[in-house]
Structure 1
């Protein structure tokens, strides 16, 4: 089970990190006119899929691990806070890009901390 948790942490951290990079850099590139033909990257369906992947990894690696005693409280609460930021970013108006990038980096940090702390 620990091997699965580690694998889920690696992939969860990687997907959250890429999501945070996407959400931090994409608005800048679009405003500079560098991504005019890449409208699918900012489509709500793409965002919902990425948030769904994030929720899947947080649930399967951090929440299940916390319930089984494999994840520390600090890592668990950090992931829940990051997931909260990711879920409420649509209600933040002009700050939504900053909020979701912070949430993505927070979730990625929780995954990577759990990955390295639980290493044998």
Structure 2
């Protein structure tokens, strides 16, 4: 089994066995405590940045006839719902369908943005 490094109580480096970490896996061995701490801190900041990016995701969509505009957050929760004068031309059933379809489109838009952020993050972490 491959020998990696771990910290002793005195913060000095000592050899130890690490499961799932082979000699060719990048990121498994660090040369010093400072290097390890810097890597952990960098990842922590990147996780926080991802959280901020995900929190800022919005999806916005306007119906084809311009009657309804919907804005949702990254979880698909409704943030804003605007109607134009075009809604007066819609029947109650058309109005309902337009609102629901537009809200679904806005949510799909937000989910696609979230997926792109998470995919980019995973690619960064994987190296």
Q: TM-score, normalised by structure 2?
A: 0.31
Q: TM-score, normalised by structure 1?
A: 0.33
Is the helix fraction higher in 1 or 2? 1
* Larger radius of gyration between Structure 1 and Structure 2: 2
User: Greater relative contact order: 1 or 2 (C-alpha under 8 angstroms, separation 6 or more)?
Assistant: 1
Is the strand fraction higher in 1 or 2? 2
